[in-house]
Amino acid sequence: MAIPCPNFIASEKAAMEAGLLLPSSSLSQLILTQDDLKKIAAYKAVEYVESGMVLGLGTGSTAKHAVDRIGELLRQGKLKDIVGIPTSTKTHEQALSLGIPLSDLDSHPVVDLAIDGADEVDPYLNLVKGRGGSLLREKMVEGACKKFVVIVDESKLVNYIGGSGLAMPVEVIQFCWKFTASRLQKLFEESGCVAKLRTLGEKGEPYVTDNGNYIIDLYFKQSIGDLKAASDSILQIAGVVEHGMFIDMATTVIVAGELGLTVKDK
C-alpha cells in the first residue's frame, strides 16, 4: 500500500529521523507505504523514552522499528542506562544484536515504559494483539508498565474488537486443544464465532509459541459485547493460558495515517 500524502502533518522531525525525508525535501513530496507509516509512528513513540528507563520491548513489524531506533540512540549516546525487557525470543535476539542491555520481570518487576504495536484498536483504546504469536509475554510485560505506548497505522482502527474480521488469538495448552477450541467457539456462537488452530507451512503443522503452547484464532462476525465479561469467560476455560484482548491497558496510542500522526491518550 502506497499513500500519497499532500496534507501529511506529522512532525518533519519524525519523518527525517525515520530516513523518509531529506532536509531539502517537503512532506508533501512523500509517497508513504504502510511500513513507512509504521516507522514514523515508532520513531514518535521512542520520543517518550528517557535515559535510565526500564523498557518493555514489543514484538512485530511495527515494534521492530522502535527497537531499532532505541538501539540507534544508544549507539549515538543520546540514550544511556537503558534496560530492555523483550516480549519474545525474536525481540530478544534483535535487541542483543543492537547492543541493548536486557533483563526480565524477575529482576525488574516495574517497567517504566513499554512500546508495542497492535492488531486492532477500538475507540476506547482496547486492543487485539498476538497475531504474531507473542501475546502472553506481551501481556505480562505490558501489564507491569507505568506507561504503555501503542503504535499503529490507521488500518488497525476498528469500531469494535474483532471488527476487522481477522483473528483474535487465544493461547492454549497442547493437551486436548480441539476440546478447548470447541468450548471457545461455543462461548461466542451468538457472535458467529469460528475457532481455528493456527498452523504453519504447507503441511499445516501447528504453530507453537515461545512458551510451547498452541494458538486458537477466533473469528467473529459480530461484536462480542462486554469485553471484560468476555475476558473472564475465556480465562475460566480450563486449557486456556491467555487471550489477545488487551483491555484498559494502553495509555497512549499513536496512529500514523494519510493526514499525519494522531496521538490518543487514555
Cα Rg of the chain (Å, integer):
19
| Identity of residue 201 | G
Given a contact cutoff of 8 angstroms between Cβ atoms, the answer to whether 230 and 164 are in contact is: no
Among candidate residues 265, 240, 264, 259, the one with its CA nearest the CA of residue 27: 259
DSSP 176-220: THHHHHHHHHHHTGGGT-EEEE-EETTTTEEP--TTS-EEEEEE-
Helix (H, G, I), strand (E, B) or coil at 46: helix
Task: Name the residue with cell 513489524.
Answer: 61
Task: Report the alpha-carbon distance of residue 265 to residue 125 in Å, rounded.
Answer: 9
Give how far the C-alpha of residue 14 lies from the chain's centroid of Cα atoms, to the nearest Å.
20
Cell of 68: 531499532
Annotated active-site residue in 138, 142, 171, 242: 138
Report how many helices (DSSP H) and strands (DSSP E) the chain contains, helices first: 7, 17
Give how far the C-alpha of residue 72 lies from the chain's centroid of Cα atoms, to the nearest Å.
21
CB within 8 A of 188, min separation 6: which ones? 218, 220, 224, 230
Reply yes or no on whether 138 is catalytic.
yes
Which residues belong to the active site?
Answer: 138
